[in-house]
């Protein structure tokens, strides 16, 4: 279906011109039930109004009033789904070479999940993952401009993603002034080639991991990402799924996504989830120890349906509570719980140990966390 335009408002308290009613009814059918639409056009205006409201609710739109206005958010969302090429126009996505590894294959240590929710000192096992990494850029001076995409071996579908946000970069010495020229920013892509990347590949969740490079300044609003993420990621997924690495590759519609973040990256996760149009497509949220970051309040405020949130955190907990916490996807990781390959490797200084464990969490806990998030 092509880009749609209506003359007047349709739905609850709308003008409801017959031609506009027909256009919106057809759009709801074209969208389909799996994206919040309907399987047949409603026969009455009240039915159409309810269908519009259902679409708004499914898509997580900020206003769910059962009405479509010319130039409004609901009409824009219809067009983003029905004519993504138009919304992708003006942002050219192309591969680039950052001089970093293009694959990951390693065996890393991961907790034995059963012991993680039952034993004070949990046990360890080796997990092996393999995948290929591609890097992309946008041909505009925007944020995010640079992306890494990890495709695990055996992925059969490209419509499910895992979006990972790294920590805010200034604390590690990355300067926003160097961002557009790239500079040393590709060093942040190490998460894709480290144990975190191989653990993600080992999960078998049939998801593709997408990692945007975010500036310090974009902690305020996540840049253009909340508004343009579908067209940007859709183009990258289209290139990878078809093998056509040109800007003319088709877009892939993302049906499901998990959003994860490490440390202060919780601020990007928060801004993105609260500004983007995700709706029922948001399958889960993972917080890797955001509770000891400068944005700890965002970690503490995380909430969602049962099983929706996964927290890997250094919060204290009584051993007898581990089972109940684990049932809610909350995993305390204080120093007394670590053993195996990390036995006696953390400092006796509590503050030093806190930071040492903090940096270890995404590299050791991605396998369990990504598996729990789906």
Report the C-alpha gap between 337 and 57 in whole angstroms. Answer: 42
User: For every one of its 374 residues, what pLDDT tens digit does the chain have, with 9 covering 90 and above?
Assistant: 667 889 999 999 999 999 999 999 999 999 888 788 999 988 899 999 999 999 988 877 778 899 999 878 898 888 878 876 666 556 789 999 999 999 999 999 999 999 999 999 999 999 999 999 999 999 888 899 999 999 999 999 899 999 999 999 999 999 999 999 999 999 999 999 999 999 999 999 999 999 999 999 999 999 989 988 988 999 999 999 999 998 778 888 899 999 999 999 999 999 999 998 788 899 999 999 999 999 999 999 998 887 899 999 998 889 999 999 999 999 999 999 998 778 788 999 999 999 999 999 999 999 999 999 98
DSSP 8-state assignment for residue 5: -
Strand, coil or helix: what is 81? helix
Q: State the pTM of this model.
A: 0.81
- The distance of Cα 253 from the centroid of its chain, to the nearest Å, equals 14
CB-based contacts of 371, cutoff 8 Å, min separation 6: 113, 203, 205
| Residue whose pair of structure tokens reads 């209506």 in the numeric block | 6
CB 361, CB 312: distance < 8 Å:
yes
Distance from first CA to last CA of the chain, Å, rounded?
Answer: 32
Cα separation, 314 vs 279, whole angstroms: 30
């Amino acid at each position: 279906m092509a880009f749609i335009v209506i003359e007047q408002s349709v739905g609850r308290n709308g003008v409801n011109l017959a031609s506009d009613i027909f256009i919106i009814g057809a759009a709801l059918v074209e969208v389909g039930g799996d994206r919040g639409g309907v399987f047949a056009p409603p026969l009455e205006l009240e039915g159409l109004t309810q269908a519009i409201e259902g679409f708004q609710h499914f898509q997580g739109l900020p206003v769910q009033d059962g009405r479509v206005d010319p130039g409004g958010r609901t009409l824009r969302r219809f067009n983003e789904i029905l004519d993504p090429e138009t919304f992708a126009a003006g942002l050219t996505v192309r591969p680039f070479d950052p001089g970093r590894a293009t694959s990951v294959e390693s065996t890393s240590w991961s907790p034995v999940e059963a012991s993680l929710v039952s034993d004070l000192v949990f046990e360890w096992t080796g997990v092996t993952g393999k995948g290929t990494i591609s890097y992309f850029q946008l041909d505009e001076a925007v944020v995010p401009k640079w992306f890494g995409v990890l495709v695990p071996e055996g992925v059969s579908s490209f419509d499910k993603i895992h979006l990972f946000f790294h920590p805010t970069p200034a604390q590690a010495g990355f300067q926003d002034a160097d961002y557009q020229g790239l500079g040393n920013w590709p060093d942040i892509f190490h998460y894709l080639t480290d144990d975190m990347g191989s653990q993600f590949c080992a999960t078998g969740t049939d998801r593709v991991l997408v990692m945007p490079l975010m500036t310090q300044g974009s902690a305020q609003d996540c840049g253009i990402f909340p508004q343009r993420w579908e067209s940007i990621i859709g183009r990258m997924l289209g290139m990878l799924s078809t093998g056509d690495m040109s800007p003319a590759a088709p877009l892939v519609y993302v049906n499901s996504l998990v959003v994860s973040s490490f440390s202060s990256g919780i601020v990007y996760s928060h801004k993105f989830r609260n500004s983007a149009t995700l709706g029922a497509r948001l399958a889960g949220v993972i917080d890797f120890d955001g509770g000891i970051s400068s944005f700890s309040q965002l970690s503490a405020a995380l909430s969602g349906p049962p099983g929706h949130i996964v927290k890997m955190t250094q919060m204290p907990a009584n051993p007898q509570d581990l089972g109940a916490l684990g049932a809610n996807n909350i995993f305390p990781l204080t120093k007394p719980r670590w053993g195996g390959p990390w036995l006696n490797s953390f400092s006796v200084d509590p503050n030093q140990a806190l930071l040492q464990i903090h940096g270890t969490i995404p590299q050791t806990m991605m396998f369990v966390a990504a598996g729990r998030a789906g």
